[in-house]
Amino acid sequence: MLSPQEARVSVVVVATITPRPDAVDAVREAVLAAVPQVHAEPGCELYALHEGDGVFVMVERWESPEALRAHGKAEALRTLGAALADKLAAPLDVRRLTAVPAGEPGKGAL
């Protein structure tokens, strides 16, 4: 029988945001403004911004598919989408991922 921790399956999302070169600072500010609101959403386990090579990468973990669906309709995401609308060099690349645990349990999956 699985333990409660093993039975729980989080949903992992990686979103890549590619700003226009002249909008990097504005995109960073818009995303940073959204982070505290998203952290307060029910089911948010991780919402972490990373930056490199001219793109921003948001690594997310949600406690359930339902929590992720609610996030998709939340005010913070609507506001962020509006703020990014004319500042992107490419469409958002949002990928929902399934963990493939390997090695040590605490290190092999988000």
Q: Where are the domains of the chain?
A: 19-97
Read off the pLDDT of residues 65-99 as tens digits, 9 standing for 90 and up: 999 999 999 999 999 999 999 999 999 999 999 88
The predicted pLDDT at position 1 comes to: 40
> C-alpha 72: how far from its chain's center?
11
Cα atoms found within 13 Å of the Cα of residue 73, Cβ hemisphere only: 6
Rg over alpha carbons for the chain, rounded to the nearest Å, is: 15
Q: In sequence order, which residues have a C-beta less than 8 Å from that of residue 103 and are 6 or more positions away?
A: none
pLDDT of residue 8: 59
pLDDT tier for residue 110 given thresholds of 50, 70 and 90? confident
Give per-residue pLDDT as tens, 7-53: 457 899 999 999 999 999 999 999 999 999 999 999 999 999 999 99
CATH tag, 19-97? 3.30.70.100
pLDDT at 3 over 80: no
pTM of the shown model: 0.86
Residue 95: half-sphere exposure toward Cβ, Cα within 13 Å: 9
CA distances from 60 to 1, 3, 102 (A): 28, 23, 20
